[in-house]
Amino acid sequence: MIHEDDRDVAEALRAVAPDPAVPDGLLAGARRKRARTRALAGTVGGLGVAALAVGIALPAILRPTMVADNAAQEPAPAATTASELQDTSSLAAPATDPSAATNPSAEAAALAAQRLGWDVVLRGEDANRVVSPSSLSLSLAMLAEGARGDSLASIDETLGLAGEERAAAFSALRGSLSGYATAPGDIDLEEPPAQPAIHLANRLVTIDTDALPEFVSRLESVYDVPLVAADRGSAQGVLDAWVNEHTAGLIEKSGIEVTPDTKVVIQDSLLFAAAWQTPFEFDDLPLDFDDAGTVEAVQGIVTARYAESERWTAVRLPYDARLSADVILPAEGMAPTELSADDLVAADRALDAAPEEEIDVTMPELDLAAKSDLIEALPTVDLTDLSGIIPDGTIEQWVQQSVLQVSAKGTVGAAVTEAAVEQALAQSDRRVVVDRGYVFRVADTETDWPLFLASVTDPAAN
């Protein structure tokens, strides 16, 4: 017999699996699930925060990384949407390159990427902030191959790895999800695929100049980076078209503005799309979200992992057996940016150890977009000496554009990180700045015969 307090649970169960008889045992289990996540959903609605911390998570040491797309890699078959599969509850991860699992430095590289990305988030000013740590760290690792002196030391300190160890670690992370590789044209962004799809591409663009052969060869051998030559008149269009193509239009054009000084541009792009392993039952639901007021949300009982501490509550929502999204909810009264990189690591480890269970989750739908000036966001990273890319090379622009969309169907995201290199002006140990009254003379130095002689105290006057 159904208890009156259980009638709403019974009706919900019948909505997804109509049956005239709903067992009391099933209702008891549903009550426990409801109690667990009513607390979670209630906390979301009452938090004094600007946004939830959402991250695409990978198991073990691979969490912050994505997969490469290169000429030697066979693309996966066209992505399959969730609606085309009868049961995705036990969707297996595809076979991948095992090098990241065996590389002793891959974990350190992955953690460095997360810390670097979180630094960018913390320096942002918008209410919502999004960054791709994987694309950002790969961009920096590629720049390291052409950095010299203090700049190389700065990158090595930032990434915690140097030389061949750094290159091997990031190369392994880059190739670790090769089984998910899918061409952008085969990804349906409106219907995220049940088999997660990832497309990562990169290239080196020279503009009316030649990059140093050693740098070109190094990028090609370690990161499969192709070389493209462009003239200054067409360079902006070349950069824009590549970004649009490799993000399937989620990012329309390059974040680099080609100037008369731009000599070389390194582009790295990431495209991600995946349906939830357990679809959310409801979307467009009203959710009272702190100071933002009422927002649209998704809700459903899903198979997930749950962990909590005094500082946060976290739930891991899987896409398949390998890829997942972590939603990390700060303690009431805390903003997401009050969490530290160590908090993110602690949540990650706790979720790794947590068992899977049925959890009723309510969370906002998201449609985020951001452009980050990485030179401003990461002022401690010295990129002034890139003379291994071009003679007297130095950073001109370093930007990332990111898009993240979360719905009841799944998650779609794209990121492009681009670094533009210019040629530094010649430096001298002796410097003269004319910033006060002075004498100006034009003369024949053979005879010392002055042709013009002037005293200047106000250069702006006629």
What's the confidence (pLDDT) of residue 361?
95
Higher pLDDT, 234 or 17: 234
Alpha-carbon torsion angle 387, 389, 392, 394, nearest 10: -90
Share of the chain above pLDDT 90, in %: 66
Confidence category of residue 341, pLDDT binned at 50, 70, 90: very high
Helical packing angle, 133-144 and 163-175, nearest 10° = 140
What's the confidence (pLDDT) of residue 393?
97
Confidence category of residue 447, pLDDT binned at 50, 70, 90: confident
- pLDDT at 200 > cutoff 90: yes
What's the confidence (pLDDT) of residue 90?
55
Across the range 12-16, mean pLDDT stands at 45
Tell me the backbone φ, ψ of residue 349, rounded to 5 degrees: -65, -40
- pLDDT at 311 > cutoff 80: yes
Confidence category of residue 94, pLDDT binned at 50, 70, 90: confident
Higher pLDDT, 61 or 234: 234
Across the range 217-228, mean pLDDT stands at 96
Radius of gyration for the alpha carbons in the chain, expressed in angstroms and rounded? 27
What is the enclosing helix (H) or strand (E) of 271?
strand 262-275
CB distance 174 to 200 below 8 Å: yes
Question: pLDDT tens digits, residue range 240-279?
Answer: 999 999 999 999 999 999 999 999 999 999 999 999 999 9
User: What sign results for the dihedral spanned by CA atoms 118, 223, 413, 263?
Assistant: positive
- pLDDT at 139 > cutoff 80: yes
Q: For the chain, percent helix, then strand, then coil, each to nearest 5?
A: 35, 30, 40
What's the confidence (pLDDT) of residue 91?
65
What's the confidence (pLDDT) of residue 100?
64
Across the range 320-334, mean pLDDT stands at 92
Across the range 322-349, mean pLDDT stands at 93
User: What sign results for the dihedral spanned by CA atoms 384, 386, 391, 396?
Assistant: negative
- pLDDT at 28 > cutoff 50: no
- pLDDT at 148 > cutoff 90: yes
What's the confidence (pLDDT) of residue 278?
94
Higher pLDDT, 85 or 403: 403
What's the confidence (pLDDT) of residue 288?
93
Across 61-94, b (16+ Cβ under 10 Å) vs e yields bbbbbbbbbbeeeeebeebbbbeeeeebeebebb
Confidence category of residue 96, pLDDT binned at 50, 70, 90: low
What's the confidence (pLDDT) of residue 438?
83
- Give the chain's mean pLDDT: 83
Question: pLDDT tens digits, residue range 210-222?
Answer: 999 999 999 999 9
CB distance 358 to 302 below 8 Å: yes
Highest mean pLDDT among 2-11, 50-59, 125-134: 125-134
Across the range 408-417, mean pLDDT stands at 96
Contacts of 215 (CB under 8 A, 6+ apart): 145, 146, 388, 389
Confidence category of residue 433, pLDDT binned at 50, 70, 90: confident
Confidence category of residue 176, pLDDT binned at 50, 70, 90: confident
What's the confidence (pLDDT) of residue 402?
96
Confidence category of residue 144, pLDDT binned at 50, 70, 90: very high
- pLDDT at 313 > cutoff 60: yes
What's the confidence (pLDDT) of residue 4?
44
- pLDDT at 350 > cutoff 90: yes
